[in-house]
Chain A
């Protein structure tokens, strides 16, 4: 299964942008790149996902490298509520035997300082 690698932790100041990196050098053609975040005692919450092109939504932006072997989640203005564990996930959305599998990385713990 394809794996993702993320830094264990990152810090940011409130209202500053945050760039969370993820490496996924063994990504396959049917893998979508998903990002989720998880607060203590809660289930993971969807943030954003993409296949090849950069993506924007109300929560964040996702920048995907041209070779798809890495991606970066961008929070444009971090708030205290953004403090969480952020997971970069490869999700097989093809039709083969691995269809439906989502491989979680170890996650990055984001601390936001006021």
Chain B
């Protein structure tokens, strides 16, 4: 199984809602990532988890809250978002080798978020 599965594929939420994006992989990867992609732009790194611990936060606003409950799951909790947060949110995973990271990134198909 070489898939990264993201749910939901589409999400529409109001600025006062609380919602979550979910990501799952069963490749035994110990590094997981959240990226944000605006239309016609490259993906931008948001968070990196290594061995279920947050290792990189690219100065992401606190209205985005990541969580890695176990080695196969990665969540992104959303609260009080703004319309400009509307984007495609991509999850990825890769092998980790101690404090380092190796090999290719496996991406999911993304969750398209619209904030009204």
Report Cα–Cα, A95/B100, bound state, in Å. Answer: 5
Contact status A100-B56, CB under 8 Å: yes
The answer to whether the Cβ of A24 comes within 8 Å of any Cβ in the partner chain is no
Q: Which residue of B lies closest to A42 (CB)?
A: B109
Contact status B105-A44, CB under 8 Å: yes
Could you say which of B43, B55, B103, B106 has the most chain A C-beta atoms within 10 Å of its C-beta?
B43
How many residues in A have their beta carbons less than 8 Å from beta carbons of B? 24
Contact status A44-B90, CB under 8 Å: yes
Report Cα–Cα, A12/B70, bound state, in Å. Answer: 45
Please report which residues of chain B, range 79-116, place their CB below 8 angstroms from some CB of chain A when the two chains form the complex: 90, 92, 96, 98-110
Report Cα–Cα, A41/B99, bound state, in Å. Answer: 33
Residues of A within 8 A of B108 (CB): 43
Report Cα–Cα, A101/B105, bound state, in Å. Answer: 11
Residues of B within 8 A of A87 (CB): 42
Contact status A105-B102, CB under 8 Å: no
B interface, over-half SS: strand
Q: Which residue of A lies closest to B90 (CB)?
A: A43
Residues of A within 8 A of B106 (CB): 46
Pair count A-B, CB < 8 A: 61
The answer to whether the Cβ of B44 comes within 8 Å of any Cβ in the partner chain is yes
The answer to whether the Cβ of A93 comes within 8 Å of any Cβ in the partner chain is yes
Contact of A99 among B42, B101, B105, B110 (CB under 8 A): B101
Contact status A44-B107, CB under 8 Å: yes
- In the complex, the 9 A-B pairs of residues with the closest C-beta atoms, listed nearest first: A43-B107, A104-B42, A46-B104, A95-B99, A100-B48, A100-B101, A95-B100, A44-B107, A43-B109
Residues of B within 8 A of A68 (CB): none
Contact with B along A90-111 (1 / 0, CB 8 A): 0111110001111111110000
Residues of B within 8 A of A100 (CB): 31, 33, 48, 50, 55-56, 96, 101
The answer to whether the Cβ of B27 comes within 8 Å of any Cβ in the partner chain is no
